[in-house]
Structure 1
Amino acid sequence: MTSSHPEQGIVDAHHHVWDLSVRDQDWITGPELAPLRRDFTLADLRPKARAAEVTATVLVQTITVAEETPEFLVLAASSDLVSGVVGWTDLTAPDVADALAGLREGPGGEYLVGIRHQVQGEPDPRWLVRPDVLRGLTAVAEAGLVYDLVVKPRQLGAAAEAAARLPELIFVLDHLGKPPIAYGELEPWAEEIRRFADLPNTVCKLSGLVTEADWGSWTTEDLQPYADTVLDAFGPDRLMFGSDWPVCRLAADYAEVIATARKLTARLTPAERHQVFTGTAARTYGLTVTGPPGLQESPCA
């Protein structure tokens, strides 16, 4: 997909929703995360997305509970905004292929585009290359899905190794692999990112930057070296925008996240910006994207 498709709107390739009356989000603990301890629904997101000319989104899992993914698929099927769901299933289960087939065959199953696990919480930095996990990842590839990676920098090496072992599977790196932006450190994160990006079956989300920075005092200049690193490593054709709403609200509101992403990509051509804000996500996840034009011109030029 290229900028020759003016009918396409912007894709927000990474956001969440939750209803605490249905299921607790047990990761929302402590005073710092207190602003997230309430319900966040598509009704909350829709006006923000509309104002930003976002016409398609990817809804991403939040917890490792099997019931969440079928609920998200039903939600997507009834939504005019969600075009794809990245869900969860137990990759290490012997019946993982059957579980994936069940999700695809159930209500809203056509909206399942990928699988994710909270790898960042696994104590083993090489969890991704365990034999049982690799077998599960193979099942994800055979199901025609992609795999979203939520990892910390110390796990990027194993992520690259897994991607090298499974060239048939597209690995999408969430949040740039969570670089230490608050500390102003680039290495060794940048070296690991380049190693991961050297593999052709890898993609990266320009997401989650504001919450890896100092929540109360970050600037676009703080984020720019990290955005430039992934732009240079992956190129616009393998980089996609994601808001990480509502988690981003800890450091910035939805409009500010989009405005910041525009500033971070201001050096790109209109066609390249179209890839970051529309084309890469639509192509990677197989999304149908319609609506007002995407970012054909830089608002920061």
Structure 2
Amino acid sequence: MIVDAHHHLWDLSVRDQDWITGPQLAPLRRDFTVDDLRAETTAAEVGRTVLVQTVTVPEETPELLALADGHDLIAGVVGWTDLTRPDVADELARLRALPGGRHLKGIRHQIQAEPDPEWLLRPDVRRGLAALAAAGLVHDLVVRPHQLPACVRAAAAHPDLTFVLDHLGKPPVAAGATEPWAGLVRALAALPNTVCKLSGLVTEADPASWAVDDLRPYADVVLDAFGPHRLMFGSDWPVCTLAATYGEVLTTATELTAALSEAERAEVFAGTATRVYGLRAAPARRVGGRNSRT
């Protein structure tokens, strides 16, 4: 059963998504609910998902955990908390004690928006990373290529913490360039405590004219560098809808991994995410009056 290791949900009546600005992002300025997600995942035969934060406010993570607590489809949450706060360890414990707190699997910060390319290396941030490791959580990295050198140094300095690179580190797909991105990604992948999400490529390409072959050089780099046992599929829904439907994203990922063996594809589309995030088993389905896991 497929695991979607990266998607978002939001309700604009609860909280504005202040990053949705300008005409290009206008299609995202509406609610995206669990019911909307379930319609997509059911059609795509996706059985479990990982819900990822979108805004850096403390109120969002408890809301995401509550959603996971109420919906079997959501098997894990990557939330946000201020990694620089002196009591970050206590805050992580507080989040885990909330309703749905057992679903907290990792923390993400919008590093891509930080003006300091070495934000990850600040002493207060490194203290927060150490707290994540002590809590058994992972750290999702949403960064741009120029921030990858700091990711390499941070991952080397915290070998007991798993770093998950979101969206391949946002390579310059639309420009058709691979360097220096490819070399930096390979340096990160050389560290055993790093993992990568095969996600977000369609929105880094030309949204109006992209083709699978435009994405293939970037997918090939991470497949070679990380291998299928450290690569996981993510839809990046609903952001992906700026360039492709949920089904098209999944089909594209399937095409990009077509050369893998069946066992290797099982890792990319379920095994890696299940292992890295410690996801619970898929819920049993009732067939013919008997419970079965299909």
Q: TM-score range by the shorter chain?
A: over 0.9
CA deviations on 1:276-300 (whole Å, 9 max, x unpaired) are: 00000000000023379xxxxxxxx
Q: Which amino acid aligns with 1:66?
A: P
Does 2:165 match 1:173?
A: yes
1:275-286 correspondence to structure 2 within 5 Å = 275-286=267-278
Which of 196, 202, 220 is matched with 2:212 structurally? 220
- Alpha-carbon distance, 1:240 to partner: 0.1
Could you tell me how far apart the structure 1 residues matched to 2:275 and 2:154 are? Answer: 22
Q: Secondary structure at the match of 1:25?
A: coil
Higher RCO (C-alpha 8 Å, min separation 6): 1
| Structure 1 residue 288 corresponds to structure 2 residue 283 | no
CA distance in 2 between counterparts of 1:271 and 1:227 reads 18
What is the letter of the counterpart of residue 189 of structure 2? A
Residues 19-34 of structure 1 aligned to structure 2 (within 5 Å): 19-34=11-26
Task: Name the CA distance, whole Å, in 2 between partners of 1:121 and 1:46.
Answer: 30
Q: CA deviation at 1:52?
A: 1.0
The answer as to 2:166 corresponding to 1:151 is: no
Give me the whole-angstrom Cα distance separating, in 2, the residues matched to 1:106 and 1:222.
43
Instruction: Answer yes or no: is 1:207 the counterpart of 2:199.
Output: yes
Matches within 5 A, 1:258-273: 258-273=250-265
Matched residue of 1:139: which SS? helix
Q: Normalising by structure 2, what TM-score?
A: 0.96
For the 8 Å contact 1:149–1:174, the answer to whether it is kept is yes
Q: 2:214, 2:223 → 1: CA distance?
A: 16
Equivalent residue runs for 1:135-150 within 5 Å? 135-150=127-142
* CA distance, structure 2, for counterparts of residue 288 and residue 23 of structure 1: 29
1:234-273 map, 5 Å: 234-273=226-265
* Partner Cα distance (2:66, 2:15) in 1: 16
Alignment deviations for residues 76-131 of structure 1 (CA, whole Å, 9 cap, x no partner)? 00002000000000000011111100001111100000000000000000000111
Identity %: 70
Q: Amino acid of the residue matched to residue 172 of structure 2?
A: P
In structure 1, the partner of 2:98 is 106
Asked if the contact 1:88/1:117 (under 8 Å) is kept, the reply is yes
Is the Cα contact below 8 Å between 2:72 and 2:283 reproduced in 1? Answer: no
- Structure 1 gaps, min length 5: 1-8, 293-301
Partners of 2:231 and 2:281 in 1: CA distance: 17
Q: Is the 1:20–1:38 Cα contact (8 Å) retained in structure 2?
A: yes
Aligned to 1:36: 28
- The residue number in structure 1 matching 2:118 is 126
Q: Aligned to 1:210, what secondary structure does the other structure show? A: coil
Question: Is contact 1:35–1:250 with CA below 8 Å preserved after alignment?
Answer: yes
* Corresponding residue to 2:79 among 55, 73, 87: 87
Offset from partner CA, 1:45-72 (integer Å, 9 cap, x none): 1021011110000000000000000010
Residues of 1 paired with 2:44 and 2:64: CA distance? 23
Partner amino acid, structure 1, of 2:98? G
SS at match of 1:35: helix
Structure 2: how far apart are the matches of 1:29 and 1:53? 32
1:193 aligned to 162, 173, 185, which one? 185
CA offsets, 1:3-56, max 9 Å, x none? xxxxxx100000000000000000000000000000001100102101111000
Q: What is the one-letter code of the residue matched to 1:247?
A: V
Question: 1:87 is aligned with what amino acid?
Answer: G
| CA distance in structure 1 between the aligned counterparts of 2:248 and 2:266, rounded to whole angstroms | 19
Residue 51 in structure 1 maps to residue 46 in structure 2:
no
Q: Give the whole-Å Cα distance in 2 for the aligned partners of 1:13 and 1:142.
A: 23
Residues 118 and 151, structure 1, Cα contact 8 Å, conserved in 2: yes
Paired residues of 1:66 and 1:88 also in contact (CA < 8 A): yes
Could you tell me how far apart the structure 2 residues matched to 1:71 and 1:202 are?
28
- Whether contact under 8 Å (1:55, 1:289) holds in the other structure is no
Paired letter, 1:39:
D
Q: C-alpha offsets along residues 249-276 of structure 1, whole Å, 9 cap, x if unaligned?
A: 0000000000000000000000000000
The count of corresponding residues between Structure 1 and Structure 2 is 284
Q: Aligned letter for 2:271?
A: G
